[in-house]
Amino acid sequence: MSEPTLDILGIGNAIVDVLARAEDRFLEAKGLNKGAMALIGPEAAEALYAAMGPGVESSGGSAGNTCAVAAGLGARVGFLGKVADDALGQVFAHDIRAVGVHFPTAPLKGGAPTARCLILVTPDAQRTMNTFLGACVEFSAADVPEAEVARAKVVYMEGYLFDPPAAQAAFYEASRLAHQHARQVALSLSDAFCVERHRHAFRKFVREECDILFANESELLSLYETDDFDYAAEQVRAEVGLAALTRSEKGSLIVAGETTLQVAAVPTKVVDTTGAGDAYAAGFLAAFTRGLDLAECGRWGSVAAAEVISHVGARPQADLKALVARK
Amino acid sequence: MSEPTLDILGIGNAIVDVLARAEDRFLEAKGLNKGAMALIGPEAAEALYAAMGPGVESSGGSAGNTCAVAAGLGARVGFLGKVADDALGQVFAHDIRAVGVHFPTAPLKGGAPTARCLILVTPDAQRTMNTFLGACVEFSAADVPEAEVARAKVVYMEGYLFDPPAAQAAFYEASRLAHQHARQVALSLSDAFCVERHRHAFRKFVREECDILFANESELLSLYETDDFDYAAEQVRAEVGLAALTRSEKGSLIVAGETTLQVAAVPTKVVDTTGAGDAYAAGFLAAFTRGLDLAECGRWGSVAAAEVISHVGARPQADLKALVARK
C-alpha cells in the first residue's frame, strides 16, 4: 500500500451561501423555522430569493468549510462535491482551490444550477438556512474515485450528504474504498434535523462504517433519541472507536475506548456561530492526521472553532497556523 | 410636462464585486498599482482571479451603490446598467431591486458575462480594484429610454461610464433627454485616474451638460490639472450651477453661484472607505430631490458616507432614515 499523499478527503454538498439580513416578521410571514436548515426546491428558492433583501455571496457547504479550515492549518486536503458549470460553480471551485484544496470533481453540465443556501440573519444574529441542493443531487458513487480515497488518511463526510438520495450510495462507496485501502472514515452529524430525517441510516452508518464521529450535543441526543448526554456518550463509546462531541462554550468531550478527555473551549467574542462544528472537525483532523495526541487534536479543534465564530462567515480569516502555534 | 415619479435615475456600470485579502507582495508580483482602479480584459481577469485568494461576492458599481443608498434614504430611484443573463447578473439585479430600486435594463444575452471588479484588500485596509467590464461595454444610447429619463427629477451618471466607448453616447443621450424634459443632470467624477483617461471628455461634459457635480479633491485637481484646491473650486463655480466637493475627514464644500457652504464630516470609526463618495452623492441627492436646503443636502451626504465607511462593503447596513432623522 502506498503512502497517503492527502491527509483529509472531504465529501459534501458544494454550496454557495447567500447571506441577507431579515426581520423576525419576515421569517414568520414566510413560515420559516428560525435557526434551522430547511431543504427547498427550485421554485421555492426563486420565490424566497425574490422576496429577501440584498445578499452577500460566499462559498460554503459544511465539509467544504472543514476542508478550507484544515488546509489553512497546513493539512493536505482534497474535496469531492458537485457544482454546475455556471458562475456560482466557478466561485465555489475558485474559493476552495485558492486555499490549496485539491478539487477534482467535474462540474455538472446542462442540468441543475450550483446549489445555494439562502441564509437569513435576524437581528439576534441567528441564522435561518434554506438550501436548494441544485447540482448536488447528481453527486453519486461514480463521483468517488478509488484513487482519491486511497490517497487520503481520512475520508471525512458531512451528514447533510444523506439528503440527496444518490449521495447515500456515494457514502457507502467511499467508506468501502477507504477501508479496503486501510484508511479511516470520519462522519459529522451536521444538524439535528438532518439526523431526524435520516436517523435509521445514520445509526447504521455510525455503527458499521464510522471510525471517527463528530457531533454536537443536540445532534447526538437526536441520534440516540434521548435527552441524557452521558447516556448518549456511552452509546457512542460502544459503537465508534473515536468520537469528538462538541458542547459550545463548554468545550468538547473526546471519547475513545476507555479514554475520556475534556477539552476546554477557547474564549472569544462570538459574532456568528455558523461553521463552528465544521471548523472544530477541521482542527481535530488536521492535528490527528499529523499524528498529534488526542488532547492536542481537541485543542486545535477549539482554536479553529474560536477563530471562525469570531467573525461573519464560516471560512477562516486569520492565520490559523499561527493561532495553533500559540499555546 | 407630467410630475416626476422618480427622484433619481442612476446610470452606471453594473458590476459585482469580488473581495479578497492579499499581501502587498502579491500586488507587486502582479504589477498592480495599489489603491487604484484598473481596467482589465477577460484573460487578465481570469488569470488574476485564478491567482488570488478566496473571495466574497456582492453587488457594486459606483452609481449602483449610490442608488442603493438613496433608496435606503427613502428616495424613489431607478437604475440603468447592463448585466449579462447569468448568475452574477441575477445577483446584481436581485440586490438592487431588493432595496426598492426600479431596474428596467434588459440583460445581455449570448455576449460577455456580467462585469466584475476583483478587489484586493491589503493588510493596511487599502483596496486595489481590477475591473473587467464584461457586458457593460454593450451599454449604449439605446439603453436610455426617454420615458425613464423624463420621469426622474435628476439623472445621475458615474464618470466610470466614460470607460466603455458606447456609454459616452449614452451619457449625451441621457443629458439631452433630461434637459428636453426640464430635468437636471448630475455627474460624479468617480476616480482621478478615470478623469486622467478622459479629461477632455469630462471637461466638455462638465462645462456644457452638467447641472450638479460631485467630486473629491484628487478628482477635481485632476480635472483642472492644478494642485490648488481653491482655484479648482472657483473653476467649478464658473462652470457648474451646483457642486459638492468632498474632502474626506475635512467634510465637503458646496459651491452654488455666489453661495459657498462648508459641511462637516460625521465622525466615525473608518473600516473601509470604499463607496464614501457614492454614499455622499446619494445622501445629497435624496435630500435635494426632497426639496431640502443645501446645508441639509450636505448633512445627509455626510451621514450616509459615515455609515458606509464604518463597515466593509459599499452598500448600507444600517437604517439610514433613522440616521438622518437624528440631528
pLDDT, tens digit, for every residue of A50-106? Answer: 999 999 999 999 999 999 999 999 999 999 999 999 999 999 999 999 999 999 999
All residues at 6 or more sequence positions from B47 whose CB lies less than 8 Å from its CB, including other chains: none
C-beta atoms of A58 and B59 within 8 A: no
Nearest residue of A to residue B315, measured between CA atoms: A54
Beta bridge partners of A243: A213, A255
Q: Beta strand pairing status for A252-256 and A242-246? A: antiparallel
Residue B270: per-residue pLDDT: 86
Torsions phi, psi for A20 (to 5 deg): -140, 150
Residues 48-67 of B with CB under 8 A from A: 49-50, 52-59
pLDDT, tens digit, for every residue of A286-297? Answer: 999 999 999 999
What's the CA gap between B111 and A296, in Å, rounded? 54
The DSSP result for A20-42, as a single string, is EE--HHHHHHTT--TT-EEE--H
Length reported for chain B: 327
Task: Give the nearest partner residue to A86 out of B59, B87, B98, using CB atoms.
Answer: B87
Residue B31 CB neighbour total at 10 angstroms? 7
Contacts of A88 in chain B (CB under 8 A): 87
pLDDT, tens digit, for every residue of A104-158? Answer: 999 999 999 999 999 998 888 788 999 999 999 999 999 999 999 999 999 999 9
Residues 164-183 of A with CB under 8 A from B: none
Question: Is A95 an interface residue toward B (CB < 8 Å)?
Answer: yes
The alpha carbon torsion through B170, B214, B314, B11 (nearest 10 deg) reads -10
Count of CB pairs separated by less than 8 Å, A with B:
64
Residues 284-323 of A with CB under 8 A from B: 313, 315, 317
Contacts of B55 in chain A (CB under 8 A): 58, 91, 94-95, 98
* Closest CA relative to residue B162, chosen from B48, B62, B35, B308: B62
Tell me which of A46, A56, A83, A101 to substitute to probe the interface with B (most B C-beta atoms closer than 10 Å): A56
ipTM for the whole predicted complex goes beyond 0.90: no
- List, edge to edge, every strand of the sheet that includes B56-59: A37-39, A127-132, A115-121, A15-21, A56-59, B56-59, B15-21, B115-121, B127-132, B37-39
Residue B214: per-residue pLDDT: 98
- Alpha-helical runs (H) found in chain A: 24-29, 42-51, 62-72, 87-98, 146-150, 165-180, 192-197, 199-208, 217-223, 229-239, 276-288, 294-309, 320-325
What's the CA gap between A59 and A48, in Å, rounded? 19
Domains in chain A and their CATH numbers? 6-14+61-111+137-325 (3.40.1190.20)
Tell me which of B18, B59, B95 to substitute to probe the interface with A (most A C-beta atoms closer than 10 Å): B95
First to last CA, chain B: 36
Torsions phi, psi for B13 (to 5 deg): -75, 130
Beta bridge partners of B90: none
* Closest CA relative to residue B40, chosen from B171, B107, B128, B127: B128
Residue B144: per-residue pLDDT: 97
Query: Which of the four pLDDT bands, split at 50, 70 and 90, describes residue A1?
Result: low
Question: Is B100 an interface residue toward A (CB < 8 Å)?
Answer: no
Residue A311: per-residue pLDDT: 86
What's the CA gap between B45 and B131, in Å, rounded? 8
Length reported for chain A: 327
The DSSP result for B213-226, as a single string, is EEEEHHHHHHHTT-
The DSSP result for B73-128, as a single string, is TT--EEEE---BSSHHHHHHHHHHHHTT-B--PPPB-SSSPPEEEEEEE-TTS-EE
Task: Give the nearest partner residue to A58 out of B57, B99, B315, using CB atoms.
Answer: B57
* pTM (two decimals): 0.91
Nearest residue of B to residue A317, measured between CA atoms: B21
What's the CA gap between B266 and B237, in Å, rounded? 25
Nearest CA distance, B189 vs chain A (angstrom): 26
* Closest CA relative to residue B103, chosen from B142, B84, B77, B66: B77
More confident residue, A16 or A121: A16
Residue B117 CB neighbour total at 10 angstroms? 21
Task: Give the nearest partner residue to B87 out of A20, A88, A315, using CB atoms.
Answer: A88
C-beta atoms of B94 and A56 within 8 A: no
Q: What percent of chain A has pLDDT over 70?
A: 100
Residue A254 CB neighbour total at 10 angstroms? 19
Residue A273: per-residue pLDDT: 84
* Closest CA relative to residue A186, chosen from A284, A293, A308, A261: A284
Q: Is B297 helix (H, G, I), strand (E, B) or coil?
A: helix
Question: Is A99 an interface residue toward B (CB < 8 Å)?
Answer: yes
C-beta atoms of A52 and B91 within 8 A: no
C-beta atoms of B54 and A86 within 8 A: no
Contacts of B315 in chain A (CB under 8 A): 54
How high does pLDDT run on average in chain A? Answer: 95
What's the CA gap between A190 and A188, in Å, rounded? 5
What's the CA gap between B87 and A280, in Å, rounded? 32
Residue A45 CB neighbour total at 10 angstroms? 22
Contact A16, A57 (CB under 8 A): yes
Contact B322, B283 (CB under 8 A): no
Tell me which of B46, B91, B97 to substitute to probe the interface with A (most A C-beta atoms closer than 10 Å): B91
Going by the DSSP 8-state scheme, the letter that residue B275 receives in this structure is T
The DSSP result for A238-253, as a single string, is HH-SEEEEE-GGG-EE
Q: Which segments in chain B show pLDDT lower than 50?
A: none
Task: Give the nearest partner residue to A94 out of B49, B88, B98, using CB atoms.
Answer: B49
* Closest CA relative to residue A284, chosen from A295, A270, A269: A295
Residue B261: per-residue pLDDT: 98
Q: Beta strand pairing status for B15-21 and B56-59? A: antiparallel
Cα of A238 vs its chain's centroid, Å: 24
C-beta atoms of B91 and A21 within 8 A: no
Nearest CA distance, A257 vs chain B (angstrom): 39
Residue A180 CB neighbour total at 10 angstroms? 11
Residue B1: per-residue pLDDT: 61
Task: Give the nearest partner residue to A56 out of B53, B58, B99, using CB atoms.
Answer: B58
Task: Give the nearest partner residue to A54 out of B49, B50, B95, using CB atoms.
Answer: B95
C-beta atoms of A91 and B55 within 8 A: yes
Question: Is B114 an interface residue toward A (CB < 8 Å)?
Answer: yes
